[in-house]
Structure 1
Amino acid sequence: MPSTPPPEFSLSAWVDESAVIGPAGGFGTYTMAAVVADPGQCDDLRREVSALTIKPGVRLHWVAESVKRRDLIAEAVAHLDIAAILTVGTPMDRSRQERARRCCLERLLYELDQFGVSEVWLESRAVPQDKRDLRLVDSARRKRLITPDLQVGFAKPSAEPMLWLPDAVAGAMSALVLGEDRWLTAMTDVVTVHQVVVR
C-alpha cells in the first residue's frame, strides 16, 4: 500500500516596526522585527499570546504596557516556539524614516527568505504606505535578493494576534537603544539581530 507523503513544511513570518527618534539635528534608530513560526502551530500561539492580555478584546501593545507587564511579556515570548529576526537601521534622520524602513525591510526580507520563510505578513499601515512596501518587494525580487516564491501580504493587529509578538520584540529592541536591556536580554535565545546602515 503506497504511503502518503508528509505535508510540506512551511514557515510564516509576521512583521512590525519600532522607531527611536533622535534629538533635533541628531539621528535615531529604526527596527523591523519578524517573528517566524510554523503556521500549523499558530492557533496555539495565538491562544498563548491572547492569554497575556489584561482583558479580552484588548490587544497587547508594547508602548502601552507597564514595566511589570513588559517583564511578563518578554518572559513569555522567550519560551514560545518561535524565532525572531530583527534588522536595526542607523543612522536614521527623523525626516527620513521611510528611507530607513526601506533599508531595514529589504534586508529583513532577504534574511527571511534565507531562513526558509514562504509567507510574510506585514502590519498594514495606510493604503499608500502598503503600496510603497509592495513596490519594495517587487524591487527586491528584481534584484534577486528574494525568490519569487516569497509571498508578502498585510494584516492588522486588531485581527491578528501574531502581530503582537513582533511588536513586543521590536519594542524591546527600542528599549535597548534607550538604555534598558532587560527585555531583549530575556528574549536572547529566540532573537537574531542584523545591523543595517541606512544610506
Structure 2
Amino acid sequence: MLCAFVDESCRVRRDDDCLYVLAAVLLPAEELDQVRSMMDSLRYGKAPTVHWRTERSARRLLIAQAVASLECASVVAVSLYGTAGRSERARRHCLLRLLPELSARGVGAVVFESRREQDAGDRAILTALRRGEQIAAEMSVNWERASSDAALWTADVVAGVVTGWMGGDQQWWPLFEDRVTFLEASEA
C-alpha cells in the first residue's frame, strides 16, 4: 500500500504575495519502519521532531540529503494569494487539489500533521470530496501530531524546501526537483 504524509509551509515572499504549500511524500507501507528510524536518527539532542524551519544550515544539508536519498515521489499543492488573503482559504484550495490527486495515484492512507482544532475544517473538505466521489471511499485519512510519527517529518522537509525555493533559496532544491509534482491550487 502507498501512504502519503502531508505537511504545510507558508511564507510571505519578496513581492508581497503569500505562498501556501501542502506537500505530500508518498512512501510504500513496507518501508515506513525504515523511514521512521532514519528520520528519528536525525533529531538533534532532545528535540521531539525534525523541523526544517528551526534547523541550522549544516543540519539542513544532512537532513535534505537523507530525505532526498529515499526512493519516493512528492506531490505539492501550491496556492499564491495576496497579503490581504487568508491562509485557511489557501489551505482549502490546496486540499481540494491534493486529496483527489493522491486518490488517483492509488494512495491507501494519508496522514496529515495535526493542527488540532483546525483539523475540523480539513475533515469538512474530506467529507465533501467523499460525497462528491472525488476520492476513493477506502482511502483512510488521519491527523497526527508531528511527534507521534517521524514519517511526517519527510513532508515537513519537502514543504520547507519548496517554499524556500519559491522564495528564492536555491540551495536545497536540486536534491528534490526530479521527484516533485506540482499542483496549482487556485480559486476556480
Question: TM-score w.r.t. structure 1 length?
Answer: 0.87
Q: Which has the larger radius of gyration?
A: 1
Structure 2 CA distance, aligned partners of 1:103 and 1:64?
Answer: 27
What's 1:37 paired with? 27
Q: Which residue of 1 aligns with 2:10?
A: 19
Cα contact 1:74–1:184 (8 A) shared by 2: no
1:157 aligns with 2:150: no
| Aligned partner of residue 107 in structure 2, secondary structure | coil
> Does structure 2 retain, via aligned residues, the 8 Å contact 1:32–1:87?
yes
User: Aligned ranges for residues 70-85 of structure 1 at < 5 Å?
Assistant: 70-85=60-75
Deviations 1:58-94 (A, max 9, x none): 3100010112221221111111122211111112545
**Does the 8 Å contact 1:78/1:189 carry over to 2?**
no
Residue 57 of structure 1 deviates from its aligned partner by 5.1
Letter paired with 1:116: G
CA distance, structure 2, for counterparts of residue 21 and residue 39 of structure 1: 35
Query: Which residue type is aligned with residue 81 of structure 1?
Result: E
Q: Give me the CA root mean square deviation.
A: 1.8
Matched, 1:130 2:113: no
Does 2:163 match 1:174?
A: yes
CA 1:94–1:83 in structure 2 vs 1: closer, same or farther (change >3 Å)? Answer: farther
Larger mean Cα displacement after TM superposition, 165-174 or 187-196: 187-196
- In the alignment of these two chains, the number of paired residues is 188
Closer, same or farther: CA 34–92 of 1 in aligned 2, 3 Å: farther
CA 1:193 to 1:156, structure 2 compared with 1: closer, same or farther past 3 Å? same
Counterpart of 2:183, as a letter, is H
Higher mean alpha-carbon deviation, 155-164 vs 176-185, is at 176-185
CA distance in structure 2 between the partners assigned to 1:144 and 1:185 by the alignment: 37
The answer on whether the counterparts of 1:61 and 1:164 sit within 8 Å (CA) in structure 2 is yes
Letter in 2 for 1:181: Q
Match of 1:91 in 2: 81
SS in 1 for 2:146: coil
Q: TM-score if structure 2 supplies the norm length?
A: 0.92
Aligned match for 1:143, one of 132, 152, 177: 132
Q: Which moved more, 1:60-69 or 1:88-97?
A: 88-97
**Distance apart, 1:186 and its partner CA:** 1.0
Q: Deviations over 1:155-191 (max 9, x none)?
A: 1111110111100000001101220122122112332
Identity of aligned residues (%): 35
Partner SS for 2:76: strand
Deviation for aligned residue 1:38? 1.2
Q: Which runs of 5+ in 1 are unaligned?
A: 1-9
Runs of 4+ in structure 1 off by over 6 angstroms are none
**Contact 2:13/2:167, CA 8 A, preserved across alignment:** no
**1:190 is matched with which residue?**
179
